[in-house]
Structure 1
Amino acid sequence: MERRLSIVNSIGHEGSSITSLNIGNLASIAVLTSGGDCQGMNAAIRAVVRMGIYLGSEVYMVKEGYIGLIKGENYITKSNWVDVSGIIQKGVTSNILFKKFKNIPSRLDEDIWPKGLAVNSIIYIEYNDKENGYIGLIKGENYITKSNWVDVSGIIQKGVTSNILFKKFKNIPSRLDGGTVLGSSRCKEFRTREGRYKAALNLVKRKIVNLIVIGGDGSLTGADTFRSEWESLIEELYKNDEINQEEYRLKMKFNIVGIVGSIDNDFYGTDMTIGADSALHRIIESIDHISTTAFSHQRCFILEVMGRNCGYLALLSALAT
């Protein structure tokens, strides 16, 4: 592959300009999260998207895990630098914040409330934090976009944005954050060849030959099966006239990277799986909460922790406390 070095400008966080390297014409990348969610997934998503853009690739985000890979359409969307701005602190529901921090008012002051969020029937009008929502009606174009079922997934808890809360209330700890902005699910259909056939078709049609899967044992096992069947799936797609000659050439170029998202820290060769450190903190926190009662009643408490066949969480929490 010829490597062409050039300097391009990308839009960074909060509109700042950064300088990045565009290394050749790299193939497209898709990233998805699957299985149980864990803290750190959003950071991994942001790293994948921004590094891919930095290297000159087109990066796609797949919503709802393998279900999105099978359904395609609006489940697989091209992302840009700004799309992943501020996602690390997402995943905290308003209920948790308001229950934990009593000094957060149920209604934010007018000067910090996000202005301009307007919804008219199924038309979503993007907001501008300096002006009200009617500017979207006036400008039109990309300010007025048709919405679908997936667009409104998980928006109920987003009335108060994390950025505003963290800016206004400095005592909110970041350790409450977690989850995945892409959504996650367990997909029975992907376990069948018919499901993987549909997933391969959706990837090939978008010329995506690099797939990054963030998940646990089942998710990565499915990814490995998908990798081993890729060539035969492309052959089948070509025989069924679902792809053309150019798309058929992608048969030999498919790569899958698995990023382990598991609180168990049970994957060989990985120093720390995504979510393991946060889970350890939760266990230690729970032990701190019950230790006073144990001392008061002079009793021995047994705390059961997760880990399946790996004793990492049990051992480290015992040492830490």
Structure 2
Amino acid sequence: MNPRSARLAVLTSGGDAQAMNAAIRAVVRTALHLGVEVFGVHEGYDGLAGATERIEQLGWDDVSRVLDRGGTMLGTARSTAFRERAGRRLAAIRLVRKGIDRIVVIGGDGSLTGALLLHDEWSQLLAEAVAAGELSAAEAERHGGVVIVGVPGSIDNDLPGTDVAVGTDSALRQIVDAIDALEATATSHQRTFVVEVMGRNCGYLAAAGAIAGGADYVLLPETPVGPDWQHEMCTLLGAGRAAGRRNSVVVVAEGARNAAGAPITAGEVRAAIERLLGDETRVTVPGHVQRGECRARPTAWSPRSWVLPPHVPRSMPI
């Protein structure tokens, strides 16, 4: 098909992640540069399979000034309707009626699994729609195949086939900033802080955050600890204090487990430290702050600064 006669839809689904807007902008402007019409699907798969269709054409200016905005300008939702075959058939019908048979899905494991399912079922869904009188045979034939591109967007970084997903680095920066901030008050009071970080069943954020933040101990789902883990942890923390450290930081991944498969909570870690070491211990959960915006300090080269480089026209949309 001639690219200049193609139509493309882009959507974000599942949990939001920083830089999703940058990914949307890249898709929209690249497609427009190639002469492809672009449509944004609002509220994830719900905009395709939900009670209300949420498909809107996007232009160049619609994605201006979104590079440094967290979240997703298209919105996101975990669609229950799309999980059913009837919902996916409705999604296919709505796309075909708009003349769309190319889709970019920005999301995590569940979102990309849904995209694969829609791709595999596409021809059958159209055949069912034609049989039910919901589409004409000509419409189904004109859009008999669908091309779907998945862009891994997940702070958890739990998707195979990609080194770093959209949003992972920004979430990691929030974690490191939190550890840095806690270290000051921990040092002042000679305290131990237990930091629980997101990541679902993937320990990437916890491991990378512990290394980059200089934590003393980390508990990960990929390396379940043995029955004596509390004593092993406290022995290491105690050695650090004996060497002159005034604080300790332990990072706990939300999916951390012991060798028996039981979850290890931040509260359990805190109780072990207080019982075995007698340290005053606090628990901090950055939570959804990890999904928030990361704002760099303004510089002369930043779009947030009043000063623009001399070669950039003042009217250029960013």
Q: Normalising by structure 2, what TM-score?
A: 0.64
1:81-135 superposed Cα distances (whole Å, 9 cap, x missing partner): 111111223xxxxxxxxxxxxxxxxxxxxxxxxxxxxxxxxxxxxxxxxxxxxxx
Match of 1:320 in 2: 212
Q: Give runs of ≥4 in structure 1 deviating > 3 Å.
A: 71-74
Aligned counterparts of 2:141 and 2:173: Cα–Cα separation in 1 = 48
Aligned length: 213
Which secondary structure state, in structure 2, belongs to the residue aligned with residue 259 of structure 1? strand
1:86 aligns with 2:65: yes
Aligned partner (choices 21, 35, 38) of residue 59 of structure 1: 38
Q: Distance in 2 between matches of 1:240 and 1:69?
A: 19
The 3-state SS of whatever aligns with 1:180 is coil
Q: How does 1:71-110 map to 2 (within 5 A)?
A: 71=50, 75-89=54-68
Distance in 2, Cα, partners of 1:311 & 1:318:
11
TM-superposed deviation, 1:287: 0.6
Choose from 127, 131, 134 the match for 1:235: 127
1:39 aligned to 1, 8, 18, which one? 18
Q: Which of 91, 102, 106 is the equivalent residue of 1:210?
A: 102
Cα offset, 1:246, TM superposition = 2.3
2:158 is paired with a residue whose SS is coil
Structure 2 residue aligned with 1:226, among 107, 118, 129? 118
- Post-superposition Cα deviations, 1:269-290, rounded to whole Å, max 9, x if no partner, equal 2121011011111101111111
Specify the alignment match of 2:7 in structure 1.
28
Question: CA separation in 2, counterparts of 1:309 and 1:204?
Answer: 37
Instruction: Provide the residue aligned with 1:114 in structure 2.
Output: none
Moved more, 237-246 or 188-197: 237-246
- Distance, in Å, in 2 between the alignment partners of 1:303 and 1:240 is 55
Tell me if the contact between 2:10 and 2:24 (Cα under 8 Å) persists in the aligned partners.
Answer: yes
CA distance in 1, matches of 2:188, 2:145: 64
* In structure 2, C-alpha distance between the alignment counterparts of 1:254 and 1:317, rounded to whole Å: 40
User: Equivalent residue for 1:310?
Assistant: 202
2: CA distance, partners of 1:27 / 1:252: 14
- Structure 1 residue 70: deviation in Å? 2.1
Is the Cα contact below 8 Å between 2:10 and 2:105 reproduced in 1? Answer: yes
3-state SS in 1 of match to 2:160: coil
Letter in 2 for 1:25: R
Task: Report if aligned partners of 2:43, 2:54 keep a CA contact under 8 Å in 1.
Answer: yes
Three-state SS of the structure 1 residue aligned to 2:71 is: coil
Query: 2:49 and 2:108 mapped to 1: Cα distance?
Result: 19
Out of 149, 164, 168, the residue aligned to residue 276 of structure 1 is 168
C-alpha RMSD of the superposition: 1.7
Q: Secondary structure at the match of 1:303?
A: strand
Paired position in structure 2 for 1:265: 157
The code of the aligned residue for 1:196 comes to R
Q: Tell me by how many angstroms 1:228 deviates.
A: 1.2
> Contact 1:212/1:258 (CA < 8 Å) preserved in 2?
yes
Q: CA deviation at 1:71?
A: 4.6
Question: Which residue of 141, 147, 150 corresponds with 1:255?
Answer: 147
Larger radius of gyration: 2
- 3-state SS, counterpart of residue 32 of structure 1: strand
SS in 1 for 2:101: strand
- 2:93·2:129 contact (CA, 8 Å) conserved in 1? yes
The amino acid of 1:254's aligned partner reads V
Structure 1, unpaired ranges of 5+: 3-23, 90-176
AA aligned to 2:17 is C
Give the Å deviation of 1:196.
Answer: 0.8
**Which of 169, 190, 196 does residue 82 from structure 2 map onto?**
190
Alignment of 1:2-17 (within 5 A): none
C-alpha separation in 2, matches of 1:213 and 1:279: 20
What SS does the aligned partner of 1:302 have? strand
Q: For residue 137 of structure 2, what is the amino acid of its counterpart?
A: Q
Distance 2:189 2:111 in 1: 44
Question: Is contact 2:96-2:143 (8 Å) kept?
Answer: no
Query: How far apart are residue 74 of structure 1 and its match?
Result: 6.0
TM-score in terms of structure 1 length: 0.63
